[in-house]
């Protein structure tokens, strides 16, 4: 029987120290999106991968995109200067900073540190163009409504992996006393009693990550006590709760299915470090697995990845070292190079198997022994990568939200010209390219740049042959 991975518990999170305010303005490296992101598809840069390299060495893991986005939105709840550390430099975080800037916030960027002051915010209507690019931008609605009593926010963008409605955000805000209507592609919200939001009770029909985050932030600024049930338990929700508590909020129950929040009108300044990106870390574990390699990575919170690691151990991989923040992982088979066994996956909310690792896991399963079944239960349309993965040669059969992956016996992977249509689907093609014989060209990599910081540089650090080709306009 496969052994179960039991990570050591983390030490308690240190309480925040107060940030020494820095009056100077320095480089705004995160605020200027690279030109290539605004180009048409045929002018997009592409990744060229020569497959077959065995990876080795150490990869640094960046801060979490899905924590950084809500925490940047939450700076709108805070007076004074908020200093965030370990913020990843991604097109999504740059969009989020533009959204804050469009409201009148002052944003300064020093490498991976971002200092935000929202005291000068005068607008409650963020730039619609940026909101429409990313999912996390919509999260400003809760803080705006809580602090200013109104918000006018365009409909969110993000990966095209399903309908992704926002009904739970809206119904939850109504339960806190807001009047909310959707008109002309915008959500227009008012704290309808004229005095601001009021505490209330709301049960989410589904533990939506985004709706939980919207309601947590709104409840922190509402008058009275709020109880939210059937909430999301993802590490990013816990990270947001820790940030809010550091700024003076009272949030109890983060990481369980019920939150109790005592509202205050305004939160104060703080200094806070974003957690490591578990999805980026998981992607590198899968990169090592698909190339049958041994690598180390840090920083990482192993318990955030228990579900994936247990599956990989079942497949035949080994955890050689696991401390609270470093992981040494080996997929080097004992005898032959292709000894990993397939396994079944059903995505579900945390602590279940993360939907954001489903496409990358499917890429690995095409190289494993036997038939694997991959079921996507979180999003209704997250199988777009399959047609592109099939171009590498393996047999994959899709029926609705379930894929049958026939594994290495259905054929080995051959380099191919493919195109990303979303973030994680896109990176699954990069993983397939690492394992394929010959050269792979991955187009549409603006999708990948939304969520991976320096992907090709990090892969090269591990010994992969990956180049970014930027075609001049
Ligand atoms: C920026 C960010 O953090 N993105 C993550 C966040 O997205 P996001 O917050 O959008 O994901 P949700 O947890 O809200 O969505 C999960 C499911 O709930 C449904 N739903 C959601 C809200 C709502 O009001 N009504 C509704 O029906 C969605 O359509 C989806 O089927 O969590 C997802 C699930 O872990 C991840 O894949 C995304 O990477
Ligand atoms: C689906 C994702 O992102 P978003 O919610 O930002 O579209 C993702 O990170 O895989």
Please report, for the chain, how many H helices and E strands are present, in that order: 14, 23
How do residues 361-376 score in pLDDT, each as one tens digit? 999 999 999 999 999 9
Decide if pLDDT at 30 tops 80: no
| 167 ligand 1 Cβ < 6 A | yes
Residue 72 in contact with residue 93, Cβ under 8 Å?
Answer: yes
Q: What is the pLDDT of residues 376-416, one digit of tens each?
A: 999 999 999 999 999 999 999 999 999 999 999 877 999 99
Answer yes or no: is the C-beta of 451 below 6 A from any ligand 2 atom: yes
Query: Which position has the token pair 């957690």?
Result: 275
The answer on pLDDT for 9 being more than 50 is no
* Cα 142 to the center of its chain, rounded Å: 20
pLDDT digits (tens, 9 = 90+) for 99-132: 999 999 999 999 999 999 999 999 999 999 999 9
Percentage of the chain exceeding pLDDT 90: 85
Q: Which two tokens stand for residue 139?
A: 């999260």
356 pocket-lining for ligand 2 (C-beta < 6 Å) = yes
Average pLDDT score over residue span 305-311: 98
Q: Which of 96, 132, 159 to mutate to test the pocket of ligand 2 (most atoms within 8 A of CB)?
A: 159
Residues annotated as part of the active site: 159
Mean pLDDT on 326-348: 88
Q: Identify the DSSP state of 136.
A: G
Q: Which atom of ligand 2 is nearest to the CA of 66?
A: 9
For ligand 1, atom 39, name the residue with the nearest CA: 356
CA of 199 to the centre of ligand 1 (A): 24
Instruction: In whole angstroms, give the CA distance from residue 367 to residue 370.
Output: 9
Check: complex ipTM more than 0.90: yes
Cα–Cα distance, 10 to 14 (Å, whole number): 11
CA atoms within 13 A on the CB side of 86: 20
Could you tell me the end-to-end alpha-carbon distance of the chain, in angstroms, rounded to an integer? Answer: 56
Give me the pLDDT at residue 339, please.
86
Least confident of 261-265, 283-287, 424-428: 261-265
Ligand 2, atom 1, lies closest to the CA of 159
Q: What is the pLDDT of residue 354?
A: 98
Question: pLDDT, tens digit, for every residue of 181-219?
Answer: 999 999 999 997 778 999 999 999 999 999 999 999 999
* Pocket of ligand 1 contains residue 440 by CB under 6 Å: no
Closest C-alpha residue for ligand 1 atom 31: 379
User: Rounded to an integer, what distance in angstroms lies between the CA atom of residue 246 and that of residue 78?
Assistant: 11
The predicted model scores a pTM of: 0.92
Residue-wise pLDDT for 434-459, tens only, equals 999 999 999 999 999 999 999 999 99
Buried b (16+ CB within 10 A) or exposed e, 80-111: bbbbbebbbbbbbbbbbbbbbbbbebebbbbe
d(CA 55, CA 132): 37
Q: Please report which confidence band the pLDDT of residue 285 belongs to, taking 50, 70 and 90 as the band edges.
A: very high
pLDDT at 40: 45
* Token pair in block for residue 442: 């991955």
What letter does residue 267 receive in the DSSP assignment?
Answer: B
pLDDT recorded at residue 43: 62
E-strand ranges in 220-344 read 225-229, 250-252, 258-262, 270-273, 294-298, 318-322, 327-330
Confidence of residue 266 (pLDDT cuts 50, 70, 90): confident
154 lines ligand 2 (CB under 6 A): no
Judge contact between 178 and 191, C-beta under 8 A: yes
Q: Whose CA is nearest to atom 29 of ligand 1?
A: 164
Predicted pLDDT of residue 334: 77
Residue 458 CB neighbour total at 10 angstroms: 22
Residue 33 scores a pLDDT above 70: no
In the block, tokens 């290539």 appear at 36
- DSSP character at residue 167: H
Considering only residues 8 and 347, tell me which one the structure prediction assigns the higher pLDDT. Answer: 347
Does residue 219 have its Cβ closer than 6 Å to ligand 1?
no
Tell whether ligand 1 has an atom less than 6 A from the beta carbon of residue 379: yes
Going from the N-terminus, what domains does the chain have, and what CATH number goes with each? 46-62+277-469 (3.65.10.10), 65-273 (3.65.10.10)
Rounded Cα distance, 434 and 431, in Å: 5
Pairing of strands 58-60, 258-262: unpaired
- State residue 302's pLDDT score: 95
* Interval between CA 117 and ligand 1 midpoint (Å): 28
Percent of the chain with pLDDT over 70: 89
Is the distance from the beta carbon of residue 69 to the nearest atom of ligand 1 less than 6 Å?
Answer: yes
Instruction: Tell me the pLDDT tens digit for each residue of 168-184.
Output: 999 999 999 999 999 99
Please, what is the average pLDDT of the chain?
Answer: 90
State yes or no: pLDDT of 88 exceeds 60: yes
Q: How far, in Å, is the centroid of ligand 1 from the Cα of 208?
A: 5
Q: Which atom of ligand 2 is nearest to the CA of 355?
A: 10
Give the confidence band of 338 by pLDDT, cuts at 50, 70, 90: low
Evaluate whether 370 touches 344 at the Cβ level (below 8 Å): no
Structure tokens that stand for 71 in this block: 């925490």
Q: Which ligand is nearest to the CA of 424?
A: 2
Residue nearest atom 10 of ligand 2, based on CA coordinates: 356
């Amino acid at each position: 029987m496969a052994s179960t991975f039991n990570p050591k518990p983390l030490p308690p999170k240190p309480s925040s120290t107060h940030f020494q305010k820095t009056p100077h303005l320095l480089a705004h490296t995160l605020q200027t999106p690279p030109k290539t992101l605004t180009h048409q598809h045929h002018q997009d840069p592409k990744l060229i991968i020569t497959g077959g390299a065995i990876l080795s060495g150490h990869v640094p893991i960046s801060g979490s995109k899905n924590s950084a986005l809500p925490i940047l939105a939450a700076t709108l709840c805070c007076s004074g200067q908020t200093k965030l550390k370990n913020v990843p430099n991604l097109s999504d975080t740059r969009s989020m900073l533009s959204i804050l800037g469009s409201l009148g916030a002052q944003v300064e960027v020093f490498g991976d540190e971002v200092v935000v002051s929202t005291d000068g915010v005068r607008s409650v209507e963020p730039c619609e163009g940026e909101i429409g690019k990313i999912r996390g931008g919509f999260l400003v609605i809760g803080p705006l409504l809580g602090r200013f009593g109104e918000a006018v926010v365009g409909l969110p963008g993000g990966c095209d992996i399903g309908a992704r409605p926002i009904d739970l955000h809206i119904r939850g805000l109504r339960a806190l006393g807001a009047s909310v209507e959707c008109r002309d592609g915008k959500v227009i919200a008012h704290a309808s009693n004229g005095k601001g939001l009021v505490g209330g009770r709301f049960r989410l029909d589904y533990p939506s990550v985004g709706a939980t985050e919207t309601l947590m932030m709104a409840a922190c600024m509402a008058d009275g006590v709020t109880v939210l049930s059937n909430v999301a338990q993802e590490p990013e929700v816990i990270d947001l709760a820790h940030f809010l508590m550091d700024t003076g909020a009272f949030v109890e129950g983060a990481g369980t299915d019920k939150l109790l929040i005592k509202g205050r009108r305004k939160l104060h300044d703080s200094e806070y470090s974003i957690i490591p990106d578990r999805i980026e870390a998981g992607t590198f574990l899968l990169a090592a697995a698909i190339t049958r390699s041994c690598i180390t990575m840090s920083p990482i919170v192993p318990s955030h990845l228990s579900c994936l690691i247990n599956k990989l151990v079942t497949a035949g991989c080994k955890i050689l070292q696991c401390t609270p923040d470093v992981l040494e992982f080996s997929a080097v088979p004992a005898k032959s190079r292709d000894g990993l066994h397939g396994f079944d996956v059903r995505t579900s909310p945390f602590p279940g198997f993360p939907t954001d690792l489903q496409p990358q896991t499917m890429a690995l399963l095409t190289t494993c022994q036997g038939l694997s079944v991959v079921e996507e239960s979180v999003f209704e349309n997250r199988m777009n990568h399959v047609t592109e993965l099939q171009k590498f040669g393996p047999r994959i059969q899709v029926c609705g939200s379930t894929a049958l992956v026939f594994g290495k016996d259905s054929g080995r992977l051959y380099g191919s010209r493919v195109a990303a249509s979303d973030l994680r689907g896109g990176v699954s093609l990069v993983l397939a390219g690492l394992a394929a014989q010959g050269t792979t060209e991955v187009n549409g990599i603006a999708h990948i740049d939304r969520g991976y910081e320096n992907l090709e540089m990090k892969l090269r650090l591990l010994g992969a042959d990956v180049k970014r080709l930027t075609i001049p306009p």
